[in-house]
Structure 1
């Protein structure tokens, strides 16, 4: 099985032929091709074949397939099973290889475990692991703890780490840009951010895009965001999509949104659903709204429930509308009451009608209208 065959499978997936891609990937796995298992778990997961994807993930642990294990960990995280995801990714991250470290930290971030991430990075830094030290410095920089970030990178430079030397130079340029921006010296800030962006500091490239966008220079903003988006920066991917949508370039906005969605960003799931809905691809939009709703997005739950209701799929619509109605929006409760009436569920309808009356009473300042 050759790399060309694997490329053919990847193209089949992009062309919307998952069955063909699966057949090629299974043959590649049988022939021991590296990377095929990672492709197959992606196909299975995107096709909603959860049990098969998880079984393949477990197999990847048994055979030591690191790439597939990382994907498996992210799949579990996307389903809210953060403890399981962490248990898979932690041993990989402790090797201090950049990709597993990045995957592990991404899951901790998704789980809202920022303190745990910093604690682990500090432990790994104390153990002398340079990759963890770089990630800790980046985290500190993002949180404007610049002095400590510079000290960490300087320690790596002293040990002959050329990458840390370049990072240190980038941080100095970025910090100068931040200071200039905070003092409303925008032209100077643009210059510093451009220098840091040229040195491949993604955060600076994103900041440069924001500066251009705020000044109404949308073409320059798009160029800056696109540079950072090419490095799979989720903030940049979302910003790039927003700039293009603001110019009614829906076709151009879709690729960065899809990429951010593939990387597991819930905001991208919702925004992609909105874009697909606006371009009359409602079944596809529904799938993304449901995914965002399952991750706890009340607005996505309302959209998913409303679409399912329109498609006359009442049993599927009801839990989404109930989830959205729990946020206390009266319009949502009205839609839910209509659905309950069609299902002839009078007890549930009565409960939600009482809830609606309570909300109206509160809105009137506690006085009867």
Structure 2
């Protein structure tokens, strides 16, 4: 099933008892949810090599779905046929199926796995339980853009689920459970703190040390054979390789200057011999021992060389070329990604044309990107249609973008429905936009949820707006988190607003930084407030400058407050002109205070008008004082009404002064 062998116990037991992991409840919950969903689902565990992903997933399946039949498809098979096969064999699985995919990257490429395939499995009463190493997940999963959704190089199915991370470092509670198991291997592993328990049991560090020490122990050729396998795997070559292929490739990895290498048979025996009762440095990938892989814990110190990339491409089958391209793309080696894809694209492969279009777009070759995406779309590639639609939308070709979004939207692809709905919304076709956004949102698309919230907010439907922002926020969309925070703050739910502002602030949203800082300040958390307001200032947010200036002024740091407010004003935000005038007046710089109060007064600030009136009154300029008090009072300022009444009384106009006193009391 893909679990690593473990060190033998003193009694010769191969498998130690399972130690409950802290993540077990989450695994159980996600498996149950997938099993109950008529559209099925994929539960994906990720983590480092030998973190315990496979064992934890198998234990969770045994707990939650013990009566389901497990089907383990071979690599390099056409998985598109699997849903129908499972339906035909349904009498053999009355409680349903689990499709087991350990090391999921070995099944990717154009094997038929896409988001619709998951739903097809669901109709066959099957779910997918899979594992993938973190570094492979990051290399192969395409990133989601902020606007309409697209894919570059990578595999769309990896975006259909939120992976569950299995930590390689065990928590203190997990170590206590391991120690209490009574198994001497687990007891020994739990008392060392250098490695995770699963890593220690699988002897990963020992095998890494043995490999690296090979040249010094008289095995330079064995070391080179293993190095060839490790480096080929690091390029994304997911297929196993033959002994002959490793022997052809290994010369590049002989130490320089090379010590006298051992003969080929000794080298092969050293590389494949079992260590610690667990595994060799090279492990067989088939029962006959014709195909080999490096033990997957082994890691090369340096990135793949040109020789490794070219050798991988030479050995690669069609599926390998896609994983090599995705790996090269994630490493920024765009030329190797192109070398992997171009032969397939030029032979008419729709998947390769799609990926080559994404690559060309990423490196700025927009015209070429459009050409490849158009060819792939015309060949029926639905995700290419979405990407082509996005490119056309960005270029302002709205009608053509709509024409490419529609076909995948009409067959229920949520990404297309989301993009089409949002395009229609932004082009004032609100009702039609809602008709596409709503089903995409109800299908769980976080961006569709967010855009539906925006649409409903524009229609004045606050309750449903908040509902969809909250759903999107709970699904991880940081824009929705920010908008939900604004709604909650407006409605007086400050503590909850602070909670939702946190993640978008951490993700770099300067509006969220400012709002988070301001609300923390208003709730008496000045140190945390200062942290986030400073982050906002660093991002150039003028309101953050204003609010941090207020905080610095409260702390008696007038010079810093002045600097922040001047920077904000010079950036075009006049909010703090009156406050800066007050700060300047307190330090005796009345001329400068007058300048800023005048600017604020001319922009309609009644408090600045009143301050100008007070400035001129103290200076004995009664006419100008009265003019500014009167303008402020007539605009509704209660302090100005009082000050105007005082001035009128002093100048003998008692009747008018009394009328302003009445207005002040009524205000």
Both proteins in one fold, TM over 0.5: yes
Question: Cα offset for 1:303?
Answer: 0.4
Query: Does the residue aligned with 1:280 lie in a helix, a strand or coil?
Result: coil
Q: Which residue of 2 aligns with 1:64?
A: 54
Distance 1:183 1:328 in 2: 33
Q: Is the 8 A contact 1:245 1:253 kept in 2?
A: yes
Question: Cα offset for 1:309?
Answer: 1.1
Question: Cα offset for 1:221?
Answer: 1.3
**Greater alpha carbon shift after TM alignment, 95-104 vs 319-328:** 95-104
Q: Which residue of 1 aligns with 2:532?
A: 320
Distance 1:305 1:351 in 2: 17
Note closer, same or farther for the CA distance 1:337–1:363 as it changes in structure 2 (3 Å cut).
closer
Q: Is the 8 A contact 1:125 1:132 kept in 2?
A: no
Q: Is the 8 A contact 2:470 2:484 kept in 1?
A: yes
Q: Which residue of 1 aligns with 2:544?
A: 332
- The structure 1 residue matched to 2:371, chosen from 133, 141, 147, is 147
Q: Is the 8 A contact 1:229 1:236 kept in 2?
A: yes
Q: Is the 8 A contact 1:98 1:131 kept in 2?
A: no
Question: Cα offset for 1:316?
Answer: 1.6
Where do 1:1-369 residues align within 5 Å?
Answer: 35-36=27-28, 61-64=51-54, 93=105, 95-96=107-108, 108=143, 116-117=329-330, 119=334, 133=352, 136=355, 139=358, 145-149=369-373, 151=375, 167=381, 171=385, 193-202=405-414, 204-210=416-422, 212-214=424-426, 216-329=428-541, 331-342=543-554, 344=555, 346=556, 348-357=557-566, 360=569, 369=595
Aligned length: 284
Question: Cα offset for 1:257?
Answer: 2.7
Question: Cα offset for 1:328?
Answer: 4.7
Distance 1:218 1:294 in 2: 32
Question: Cα offset for 1:340?
Answer: 2.9
Q: Is the 8 A contact 2:417 2:436 kept in 1?
A: yes
Note closer, same or farther for the CA distance 1:123–1:317 as it changes in structure 2 (3 Å cut).
farther
Q: Is the 8 A contact 1:28 1:36 kept in 2?
A: no
Q: Is the 8 A contact 2:510 2:541 kept in 1?
A: no
Which residues of structure 2 form unaligned runs of 5+? 1-18, 32-45, 58-102, 116-131, 147-151, 154-327, 574-591, 596-667
Question: Cα offset for 1:354?
Answer: 2.7
Superimposed CA distance per residue, residues 152-192 of structure 1 (whole angstroms, 9 cap, x where no aligned partner): 578xxxxxxxxxx75369839x86x969x9677x5x98677
Larger-Rg structure = 2
Distance 1:349 1:305 in 2: 19
Q: Is the 8 A contact 2:457 2:465 kept in 1?
A: yes
Q: Is the 8 A contact 2:351 2:376 kept in 1?
A: no
Which residues of structure 1 form unaligned runs of 5+? 1-26, 40-55, 68-90, 155-164
Note closer, same or farther for the CA distance 1:257–1:141 as it changes in structure 2 (3 Å cut).
farther
Note closer, same or farther for the CA distance 1:153–1:325 as it changes in structure 2 (3 Å cut).
closer
Query: Does the residue aligned with 1:200 lie in a helix, a strand or coil?
Result: coil
Distance 1:135 1:192 in 2: 14
Distance 2:553 2:397 in 1: 59
Superposition TM-score, scaled by structure 1 size: 0.56
Question: Cα offset for 1:322?
Answer: 1.7
Q: Which residue of 2 aligns with 1:14?
A: none
Query: Does the residue aligned with 1:64 lie in a helix, a strand or coil?
Result: helix
Note closer, same or farther for the CA distance 1:57–1:215 as it changes in structure 2 (3 Å cut).
closer
Note closer, same or farther for the CA distance 1:358–1:300 as it changes in structure 2 (3 Å cut).
closer
Q: Is the 8 A contact 1:206 1:225 kept in 2?
A: yes
Superposition TM-score, scaled by structure 2 size: 0.34
| Higher strand fraction (1 or 2) | 2
